[in-house]
Amino acid sequence: MEIAAVGSRLAGQEAFRVGPAFLGFCSEAVSTLPVLLPFNITVFCFDFAGSGLSDGEYLSLGYYERDDLAVVIDHLRESNRVTCIGLWGRSMGASTALLHADRDPSIAGLVLDSPFSDLKVLCEELVDGYTNSRVPRWVVSIALQMVRSSISTNADFDIYDLAPVQHVSKSFIPALFTAAYNDHFIKPHHARELHSAYAGDKNFIMVEGDHNSARSKFFLDSVSIFFFNTLQVWLYRQTVQRKHC
Residue 37 clears pLDDT 60, i.e. is over it: yes
pLDDT at position 69: 93
- CA count, 13 A, side-chain hemisphere, 236: 21
The one-letter amino acid at 69: L
Angle at CA 169, nearest 5°, toward 234 and 173? Answer: 10
Q: Where is pLDDT greater, at 144 or 32? A: 144
Q: Give the three-state DSSP class for 178.
A: strand
Identity of the amino acid at 76: L
Does residue 4 carry a pLDDT above 60?
no
Enumerate the H helices of 156-243 as residue ranges. Answer: 188-197, 217-230, 233-243
Q: Tell whether the model's pLDDT for residue 15 goes beyond 60.
A: no
53 band by pLDDT with thresholds 50, 70 and 90: low
How far is Cα 129 from Cα 114, in angstroms, rounded to an integer?
18
Q: Give CA–CA dist 191/187, Å, rounded.
A: 8
Q: Give the confidence band of 2 by pLDDT, cuts at 50, 70, 90.
A: very low
Rounded mean pLDDT, 95-105? 97
Confidence of residue 237 (pLDDT cuts 50, 70, 90): low
Q: Which residue has the higher pLDDT, 17 or 51?
A: 51
Q: Which of 21-25, 109-113, 205-209 has the lowest mean pLDDT?
A: 21-25
Does 76 have pLDDT greater than 60? yes
pTM (2 d.p.): 0.85
Full set of structural domains in the chain with CATH: 2-117+164-243 (3.40.50.1820), 119-161 (no CATH)
54: pLDDT strictly greater than 60? no
Residue 82 has pLDDT above 90, yes or no: no
Q: Give pLDDT, residue 133.
A: 78
Whole-number average pLDDT of the chain: 85
Confidence class of residue 12 from pLDDT cuts 50, 70 and 90? very low
- pLDDT band, residue 119 (cuts 50/70/90): very high
Distance CA 178, CA 180 (A): 7
